[in-house]
Amino acid sequence: SKPILAVVGRPNVGKSTFFNRIIGERKAIVEDVPGVTRDRIYAETEWNGREFAIIDTGGIEASTDDPILSQMRDQAVVAMDMADLILFMVDGKEGLTTADIEVGAILRRTGKKVILVVNKIDNPSKMPDTIYDFYELGLGEPIPISSANMLNIGDLLDEIVSGF
Ligand code: GDP
Ligand code: MG
Protein backbone atom coordinates (compact mmCIF):
# COMPACT_ATOMS: atom_id res chain seq x y z
CA SER A 1 0.00 0.00 0.00
CA LYS A 2 0.97 3.62 -0.36
CA PRO A 3 3.09 5.40 2.24
CA ILE A 4 1.15 7.78 4.49
CA LEU A 5 2.01 11.39 5.28
CA ALA A 6 0.19 12.81 8.32
CA VAL A 7 -0.11 16.59 8.66
CA VAL A 8 -0.06 17.60 12.34
CA GLY A 9 -0.20 21.05 13.92
CA ARG A 10 -2.36 23.31 16.03
CA PRO A 11 -5.59 24.78 14.67
CA ASN A 12 -5.29 27.61 12.17
CA VAL A 13 -1.71 26.99 11.06
CA GLY A 14 -2.95 26.09 7.57
CA LYS A 15 -3.13 22.26 7.54
CA SER A 16 -6.37 22.09 5.54
CA THR A 17 -5.25 24.77 3.10
CA PHE A 18 -2.07 22.78 2.46
CA PHE A 19 -3.99 19.49 2.16
CA ASN A 20 -6.45 20.97 -0.32
CA ARG A 21 -3.69 22.54 -2.40
CA ILE A 22 -1.78 19.27 -2.54
CA ILE A 23 -4.73 17.12 -3.51
CA GLY A 24 -6.02 19.74 -5.94
CA GLU A 25 -9.18 18.66 -7.64
CA ARG A 26 -8.69 15.04 -6.60
CA LYS A 27 -11.54 13.78 -4.52
CA ALA A 28 -10.62 12.98 -0.96
CA ILE A 29 -11.27 9.34 -0.18
CA VAL A 30 -13.05 8.54 3.05
CA GLU A 31 -11.08 5.74 4.62
CA ASP A 32 -12.49 3.15 6.94
CA VAL A 33 -9.88 3.92 9.56
CA PRO A 34 -10.91 4.46 13.19
CA GLY A 35 -10.82 8.17 14.05
CA VAL A 36 -10.60 9.24 10.44
CA THR A 37 -14.30 9.64 10.03
CA ARG A 38 -14.87 12.86 8.19
CA ASP A 39 -14.73 13.64 4.53
CA ARG A 40 -11.80 15.64 3.13
CA ILE A 41 -9.30 14.19 5.55
CA TYR A 42 -7.62 11.40 3.60
CA ALA A 43 -6.57 11.53 -0.04
CA GLU A 44 -4.17 9.80 -2.32
CA THR A 45 -1.87 11.85 -4.49
CA GLU A 46 1.49 11.70 -6.23
CA TRP A 47 4.56 13.76 -6.87
CA ASN A 48 6.98 13.00 -9.69
CA GLY A 49 5.34 9.61 -10.13
CA ARG A 50 5.67 8.70 -6.42
CA GLU A 51 2.27 7.88 -4.97
CA PHE A 52 1.43 8.55 -1.34
CA ALA A 53 -1.54 9.18 0.93
CA ILE A 54 -1.99 12.34 2.97
CA ILE A 55 -4.03 12.75 6.17
CA ASP A 56 -5.16 16.11 7.53
CA THR A 57 -5.16 15.22 11.24
CA GLY A 58 -6.96 18.48 12.06
CA GLY A 59 -10.09 16.85 10.66
CA ILE A 60 -9.90 13.93 13.05
CA GLU A 61 -12.90 14.17 15.31
CA ALA A 62 -12.41 14.74 18.98
CA SER A 63 -15.08 15.39 21.59
CA THR A 64 -16.27 18.95 21.07
CA ASP A 65 -15.32 20.26 24.50
CA ASP A 66 -11.79 18.90 24.27
CA PRO A 67 -9.20 21.55 24.93
CA ILE A 68 -7.04 22.28 21.90
CA LEU A 69 -3.97 20.75 23.45
CA SER A 70 -5.59 17.37 24.15
CA GLN A 71 -7.04 17.35 20.62
CA MET A 72 -3.56 17.92 19.30
CA ARG A 73 -2.22 15.11 21.45
CA ASP A 74 -4.89 12.79 20.03
CA GLN A 75 -4.01 13.87 16.51
CA ALA A 76 -0.33 13.33 17.14
CA VAL A 77 -1.04 9.82 18.47
CA VAL A 78 -3.14 8.92 15.42
CA ALA A 79 -0.42 10.31 13.19
CA MET A 80 2.23 8.32 15.00
CA ASP A 81 0.21 5.13 14.65
CA MET A 82 -0.69 5.48 11.00
CA ALA A 83 1.92 7.59 9.33
CA ASP A 84 5.15 6.63 7.65
CA LEU A 85 6.16 10.28 7.72
CA ILE A 86 4.88 13.22 9.79
CA LEU A 87 4.64 16.79 8.56
CA PHE A 88 4.58 19.06 11.60
CA MET A 89 3.18 22.43 10.56
CA VAL A 90 3.74 25.63 12.52
CA ASP A 91 2.68 29.21 11.83
CA GLY A 92 5.37 31.64 10.72
CA LYS A 93 3.15 34.63 11.38
CA GLU A 94 2.33 33.60 14.96
CA GLY A 95 5.77 32.25 15.82
CA LEU A 96 6.60 29.43 18.23
CA THR A 97 3.95 28.63 20.87
CA THR A 98 3.91 26.41 23.97
CA ALA A 99 1.50 24.04 22.20
CA ASP A 100 4.04 23.69 19.38
CA ILE A 101 6.73 22.83 21.93
CA GLU A 102 4.56 20.22 23.63
CA VAL A 103 3.43 18.50 20.42
CA GLY A 104 6.95 18.77 19.02
CA ALA A 105 8.24 16.87 22.05
CA ILE A 106 5.67 14.09 21.51
CA LEU A 107 6.59 13.84 17.84
CA ARG A 108 10.31 13.78 18.61
CA ARG A 109 9.80 10.69 20.76
CA THR A 110 7.99 8.73 18.03
CA GLY A 111 11.09 7.63 16.24
CA LYS A 112 9.28 8.42 12.98
CA LYS A 113 10.70 10.89 10.57
CA VAL A 114 9.27 14.39 11.07
CA ILE A 115 9.48 17.22 8.58
CA LEU A 116 9.09 20.64 10.24
CA VAL A 117 7.26 23.10 8.02
CA VAL A 118 6.73 26.81 8.72
CA ASN A 119 3.63 27.93 6.85
CA LYS A 120 2.47 31.48 6.03
CA ILE A 121 5.87 32.61 4.78
CA ASP A 122 4.10 34.55 2.04
CA ASN A 123 7.09 36.77 1.29
CA PRO A 124 10.33 34.74 1.49
CA SER A 125 12.44 37.85 0.94
CA LYS A 126 11.07 39.18 4.25
CA MET A 127 11.66 36.12 6.45
CA PRO A 128 10.50 36.92 10.01
CA ASP A 129 13.27 36.76 12.67
CA THR A 130 11.00 34.50 14.73
CA ILE A 131 11.57 31.67 12.23
CA TYR A 132 14.83 30.86 14.06
CA ASP A 133 12.86 30.08 17.24
CA PHE A 134 11.52 26.93 15.54
CA TYR A 135 14.99 25.33 15.73
CA GLU A 136 14.25 24.95 19.47
CA LEU A 137 11.80 22.18 18.59
CA GLY A 138 14.76 19.93 17.90
CA LEU A 139 13.20 18.70 14.67
CA GLY A 140 15.85 19.95 12.31
CA GLU A 141 15.77 22.73 9.80
CA PRO A 142 12.33 24.30 9.33
CA ILE A 143 11.12 24.42 5.73
CA PRO A 144 9.37 27.72 4.97
CA ILE A 145 6.30 27.56 2.72
CA SER A 146 3.23 29.55 1.83
CA SER A 147 0.26 27.28 1.26
CA ALA A 148 -1.84 30.26 0.28
CA ASN A 149 0.62 31.44 -2.37
CA MET A 150 1.99 27.95 -3.22
CA LEU A 151 5.58 29.01 -2.43
CA ASN A 152 8.33 26.40 -1.93
CA ILE A 153 5.75 23.60 -2.18
CA GLY A 154 7.72 21.77 -4.88
CA ASP A 155 10.86 21.62 -2.74
CA LEU A 156 8.78 20.40 0.19
CA LEU A 157 7.18 17.67 -1.93
CA ASP A 158 10.67 16.57 -3.05
CA GLU A 159 11.61 16.31 0.63
CA ILE A 160 8.41 14.38 1.42
CA VAL A 161 8.77 11.71 -1.28
CA SER A 162 12.45 11.23 -0.51
CA GLY A 163 11.50 10.78 3.17
CA PHE A 164 9.39 7.65 2.65
P1 GDP B 1 -6.00 24.50 9.91
O2 GDP B 1 -6.88 24.80 11.07
O3 GDP B 1 -4.60 24.17 10.36
O4 GDP B 1 -6.56 23.47 8.99
O5 GDP B 1 -5.83 25.87 9.07
P6 GDP B 1 -6.62 26.37 7.76
O7 GDP B 1 -6.11 25.68 6.54
O8 GDP B 1 -8.09 26.25 8.01
O9 GDP B 1 -6.15 27.87 7.67
C10 GDP B 1 -6.35 28.78 8.74
C11 GDP B 1 -6.26 30.20 8.20
O12 GDP B 1 -4.94 30.45 7.75
C13 GDP B 1 -7.18 30.45 7.01
O14 GDP B 1 -7.70 31.74 7.13
C15 GDP B 1 -6.24 30.33 5.82
O16 GDP B 1 -6.67 31.08 4.72
C17 GDP B 1 -4.96 30.90 6.41
N18 GDP B 1 -3.76 30.40 5.70
C19 GDP B 1 -3.47 29.14 5.35
N20 GDP B 1 -2.27 29.08 4.72
C21 GDP B 1 -1.80 30.34 4.67
C22 GDP B 1 -0.61 30.94 4.12
O23 GDP B 1 0.28 30.29 3.54
N24 GDP B 1 -0.47 32.28 4.29
C25 GDP B 1 -1.42 33.03 4.92
N26 GDP B 1 -1.20 34.35 5.03
N27 GDP B 1 -2.56 32.51 5.43
C28 GDP B 1 -2.75 31.19 5.30
MG1 MG C 1 -8.29 22.26 9.23
Interval between CA 40 and ligand 2 midpoint (Å): 10
Per-position DSSP letters for 35-82, written without gaps between them: TB-SSSSEEEEEETTEEEEEEEGGGS---TT--HHHHHHHHHHHHHHH
108 is in an annotated binding site: no
Please report, rounded to a whole number, the percentage of residues in the chain having pLDDT higher than 70: 86
> Within 10 A of 26 (CB to CB), how many other CB atoms are there?
12
Alpha-carbon distance of 36 to 57, in angstroms, equals 8
Interval between CA 68 and ligand 2 midpoint (Å): 13
Query: pLDDT by residue (tens digit) across 11-31?
Result: 899 998 999 899 886 655 555
**Closest C-alpha residue for ligand 1 atom 14:** 12
Structurally, the chain folds into a number of domains equal to 1
Q: What is the CATH number of the domain that holds 81?
A: 3.40.50.300
pLDDT score recorded for residue 26: 60
9 is in an annotated binding site: yes
pLDDT score recorded for residue 27: 56
pLDDT score recorded for residue 81: 84
Ligand showing the shortest atom-to-Cα distance for residue 20: 1
The boundaries of the domain holding residue 50 are 4-163
Query: pLDDT by residue (tens digit) across 26-47?
Result: 655 555 555 454 446 888 899 9
Query: pLDDT by residue (tens digit) across 105-163?
Result: 989 988 899 999 999 999 989 999 999 999 999 999 999 999 999 999 999 999 999 99
Predicted structure pTM score: 0.90
Q: Using a 6 Å CB cutoff, which residues line ligand 1?
A: 9, 11-17, 58, 119-120, 122, 146-148
Residues 6+ apart with CB under 8 A from 10: 68, 72, 90, 91, 97, 99, 100, 103
